[in-house]
Amino acid sequence: MMAEQKKRALISVSDKAGIAEFAEALAEKGFEIISSGGTYRHLEQAGLNPIKVADITGFPEILDGRVKTLHPHVHGALLARYELASHREQLNGHGIDPIQVVVVNLYPFAQTIAKEGVTVAEAIEQIDIGGPTMVRATAKNFQNLTILTDPADYSAFLEGVDPATGLPSLAFRLTMAQKAFQHTFSYDMKIADYLDAVVADERELTRAEDETLPKVFRMSAERTEVLRYGENPHQRAGMYQVHGAELPDYVTQHQGKLLSYNNLVDMEAAWRCACDFDRATAVVVKHTNPCGVASHDVLEEAFRRARKVDATSSFGGVIAFNREVDEATAIAINEQFAELVIAPAFSEAALKKFKRKKNLRVLEIHLPDGRLPRGLEFKRLDHGLLVQDKDNKRVPFSDWKLVSERQPSEAEVAALTMAWQIVPHVKSNAIVYADADGAVGIGAGQMSRVDSSKIGIAKAGEAGLTIAGCAMASDAFFPFRDSIDAAAAAGVRAIVEPGGSIRDEEVIQAANEHGIALFFTETRHFKH
């Protein structure tokens, strides 16, 4: 198509990684290099001979570089349909030479706004205009040109480019165009998110400091893996990485089969629960519900206690720890079938023990502070999207309100605190019975709260654990006194719940009749 034409590459990049070497390789293949601004200076300092954009357009850069490439001598070459004789004639008539490859990535807007103390004015100056215009124009015209926005693609271009036409394969050009539009889409999304929080008064622009729900919920995610199936074999499923929320090396899988959809959901549920504790803690999860949680100075003991709470449900479960897993804990885990083990670290001896269970998935999770991840979560409905903050609010004991006549003992306060830490991680209706070291019985996901109360008591009995003397936590208020009566009959001595029912007085009266210490937190933890 353009075999007799000279070959030209237009280069204007913010990320200059490898660009001098790439430009040199292009020059060796017969390309003239066109550039401007900082990229021009960078290439010149590297010993190359780039042509200034101003020499192509016949017009100097103006407005402190805000206008450089927005010119027909640039965009005519980028948008021309070279297969049309009329377009070629128009280019010739205006003295516009073709360009075969455009190498552009955009001003570092995301990096700029991530810096502390950046003003709105400084952020606005990092909104690229000419760059996205060139990217979109070239990507639109991928049948005639190549757009490169990622340094990782330079070598593939060099390997595949035709020396005569200056073009790689059409398939490669299409892939680069797809990547380019994602590049500009993600860039514009970041700008829009930032500007949503900008406030204008008469004199200046400022950015609201308080975290509010976005006016528009925007999300871009790239598929990183196709899963075998979803919750059930007839459902398609994939794993996607959200752009702008990357956590480098978030998960290291040491061994085991590929993670399934259900594994990943359970993994997050177990890890969030484990992260919620300061003491060394073990969590066993089945179908997103903790069936055992325990804390102990010795991690092996914490795990054995957590598994004991519901040994039947623990079979085939997902296990999470907030400490490095040692050899003794690994031996204990191997005593029963488990799907997945998660921890911030594993000793070499522990990993060696796990090798005996080749199908066991062993995951090391890395987070900067090991605490509950913040941010938003969403659920897709058939007709829309529900968006909310993650439930990270934790009301300390010092802020609870004692509403009963009886004061709790020190041991009961420790048990109440443990129960209240566990209950936000249990599906509603949620009831947790606990002592100071962990759960004793858990009732989850029932349609009535009293049923959850009874199930938790039954689970404790099956495990050979006693409810007598334990504390009880409820994720929401008790609508009737029946759950209090059932707990009292089992020997519960202290209860914590949000309060807020129209029958709170009836519930308080029941607690007083049974000699139970009752606290209200005024914070609900529904989990649907």
- What would the two tokens of residue 221 be? 């995610």
Tokens of 152: 């990782």
Listing DSSP states for 426-486 in one string gives SPSS-EEEEETTEEEEEE-S-SSHHHHHHHHHHHHHHTT---TT-EEEESS--SSSHHHHH
Catalytic positions, written as ranges: 140, 287
Integer Cα distance of 45 and 33 in angstroms: 14
What number of CA atoms fall less than 13 Å from residue 288's CA on the CB side?
A: 16
3-state helix, strand, coil in the chain (%, to 5): 35, 20, 40
| Coil/strand/helix, residue 212 | coil
Kindly provide the b/e burial profile for residues 127-148, where b requires at least 16 CB atoms within 10 angstroms of the residue's own CB.
bbebbbbbbbbbbbbbebbbbb
Q: Enumerate residues 6+ apart whose C-beta is below 8 A from 69.
A: 10, 12, 36, 53, 57, 75, 130, 133, 134
| 163 CB burial (10 A radius; 0-12, 13-18, 19+) | exposed
- Residue 306: name the closest of 294, 296, 314, 316 by CA: 294
Distances in whole angstroms, Cα of residue 228 to Cα of each of 174, 234, 260, 329, 494: 28, 10, 7, 31, 46
Report the SS3 class of residue 189.
helix
**Strand partners for 341:** 319, 362
- CA–CA separation, 405 and 149 (whole Å): 69
